[in-house]
């Protein structure tokens, strides 16, 4: 069984072991103990000290195998991006050109340097150990964050983005970087990726402000614009099922797509229910799978069953109660693990 909870300093070694297999592209979590230690401190401070609204808090969560204590996944939410240090993207624009005199039509794609000071929230830093990757664990790791947002709604912006990992191979090679980035930054891709975490200022200092015409780039560089890494395809599908859509923005170094959603329209937030525990069953009972989280104290989330009783309160299993450290009378927030399939329309009778 797995739980998702806030990270703390004792998780540093486990996080470092987890990230050993992360390869290139997990920009926000470099394999640098000092950077990670600082990120954990920021996260701990974010959970403890919050203002009345979003102020750029950085919440980092780990997915823990309950019976072994092994850290098998990580994910994060930033309450608001931008501020003193903006976030940088390319904005894609397509224009149609046509010459009637020579009967030629052509679409031109251009990339425009774009930065955000007063931004939305962001879900980020999602990584799951390869040995634990399956549709259940990946979905649970991704969607549990939305229950935290739902429970702490006033601390997050009204929109949320997800910058997805672009197409970079295991050795850190990016065809887009080779065609664009290396000519402006004069460093290799992994170095730029690492420096971006420590200080983003060099982006604005070195990046040209004029548009880049994608049609002039080599074909392999054009192909990866707006595409995601093979390992990121499942995460993209999950977010799209929850209501995310392409924002028109892509990353600066490896131009993976940036998805966006209205927070209150995200399925896991919109359909989540808060209820009181009236019964904790030691016997298994049949129910669909839910993502369940605590509503007070330290945030914890797990997968389990929930049954509504005649009283309007709810029953959960003893295993779930123990994992989330819940007792009778406590409240939970829960949502269906997967979106419900749309009802099939009945075929009309033939006359």
The Cα–Cα gap between 25 and 190 comes to: 8
**pLDDT at 351 (0 to 100):** 43
**pLDDT at 170 (0 to 100):** 67
Please count the CA atoms within 13 angstroms of the CA of 168 that sit on its side-chain side.
24
**pLDDT at 343 (0 to 100):** 57
- Cα 170 to chain centroid distance, Å, stands at 21
**pLDDT at 197 (0 to 100):** 76
Q: Give 55-70 pLDDT, tens digit per residue.
A: 999 999 999 999 999 9
123 forms bridges with which residues in the sheet?
A: 77
Q: For residues 263 and 158, is the Cβ–Cβ distance under 8 A?
A: yes
Q: What residue spans of the chain are helical by DSSP H?
A: 12-19, 33-48, 135-151, 175-176, 182-185, 189-198, 201-206, 219-223, 233-242, 267-270, 318-324
Burial track 116-133 (b if 16+ CB lie within 10 A, e otherwise): beebbbbbbbbbbbeebe
The Cα–Cα gap between 274 and 336 comes to: 13
Query: Residue 51: what are its φ and ψ, rounded to 5°?
Result: -85, -160
Q: Give 182-219 pLDDT, tens digit per residue.
A: 899 888 887 887 787 777 788 888 888 899 999 999 99
The Cα–Cα gap between 240 and 246 comes to: 9
pTM (whole model) above 0.85: yes
For 2-265, give the CATH class: alpha beta
Which segments in the chain show pLDDT lower than 50?
351
**pLDDT at 56 (0 to 100):** 92
The Cα–Cα gap between 122 and 104 comes to: 42
Domain boundaries, the chain: 2-265, 272-336
Report DSSP state, residue 337: S
The Cα–Cα gap between 60 and 74 comes to: 7
Q: For residues 160 and 76, is the Cβ–Cβ distance under 8 A?
A: no
Report how far apart the first and last C-alpha atoms of the chain are (Å, whole number).
55
* Token representation of residue 175: 């065809």
* Token representation of residue 88: 């940088």
333 forms bridges with which residues in the sheet?
A: 274, 293
The Cα–Cα gap between 268 and 149 comes to: 10
- For the segment(s) 272-336, the CATH number from 2.40.40.20, 3.10.20.30, 3.30.450.20, 3.40.630.30 is 2.40.40.20
**pLDDT at 129 (0 to 100):** 93
Q: For residues 189 and 253, is the Cβ–Cβ distance under 8 A?
A: yes
Q: For residues 121 and 76, is the Cβ–Cβ distance under 8 A?
A: no
Q: Active-site residue numbers?
A: 229
Decide the pairing of beta strands 289-294 and 331-336. Answer: antiparallel
**pLDDT at 346 (0 to 100):** 57
**pLDDT at 49 (0 to 100):** 84
């Amino acid at each position: 069984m797995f739980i998702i909870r806030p990270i703390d300093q004792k998780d540093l070694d486990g996080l470092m072991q987890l990230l050993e297999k992360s390869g290139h592209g997990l920009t926000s979590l470099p394999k640098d103990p000092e950077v990670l230690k600082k990120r954990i401190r920021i996260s701990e401070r974010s959970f403890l000290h919050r203002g009345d609204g979003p102020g750029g808090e950085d919440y980092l969560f780990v997915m823990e195998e309950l019976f072994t204590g092994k850290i098998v996944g990580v994910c994060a939410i930033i309450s608001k991006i931008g501020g003193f240090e903006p976030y940088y993207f390319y904005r894609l624009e397509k224009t149609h050109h046509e010459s009637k005199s020579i009967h030629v039509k052509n679409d031109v794609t251009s990339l425009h340097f774009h930065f955000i000071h007063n931004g939305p929230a962001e879900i980020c830093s999602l990584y799951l150990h390869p040995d634990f990757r399956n549709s259940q664990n990946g979905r649970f790791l991704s969607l549990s964050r939305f229950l935290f947002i739902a429970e702490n709604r006033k601390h997050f912006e009204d929109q949320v983005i997800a910058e997805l990992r672009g197409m970079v191979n295991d050795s850190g090679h990016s065809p887009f970087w080779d065609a664009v980035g290396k000519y402006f930054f004069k460093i290799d891709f992994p170095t730029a990726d690492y420096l971006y975490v420590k200080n983003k200022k060099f982006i604005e200092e070195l990046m040209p402000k004029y548009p880049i015409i994608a049609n002039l780039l080599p074909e392999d560089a054009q192909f990866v614009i707006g595409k995601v890494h093979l390992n990121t395809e499942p995460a993209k599908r999950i977010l799209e099922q929850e209501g995310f859509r392409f924002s028109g923005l892509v990353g600066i170094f490896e131009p993976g797509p940036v998805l966006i959603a209205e927070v209150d329209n995200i399925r896991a937030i919109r359909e989540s229910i808060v209820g009181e525990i009236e019964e904790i069953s030691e016997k298994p009972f049949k129910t669909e799978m839910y993502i369940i989280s605590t509503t007070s104290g330290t945030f914890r989330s797990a997968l389990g069953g929930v049954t509504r009783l005649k009283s309007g309160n709810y029953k959960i299993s003893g295993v779930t109660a123990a994992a989330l450290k819940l007792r009778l009378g406590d409240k939970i927030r829960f949502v269906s693990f997967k979106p419900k399939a749309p009802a099939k329309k009945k075929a009309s009778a033939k006359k």
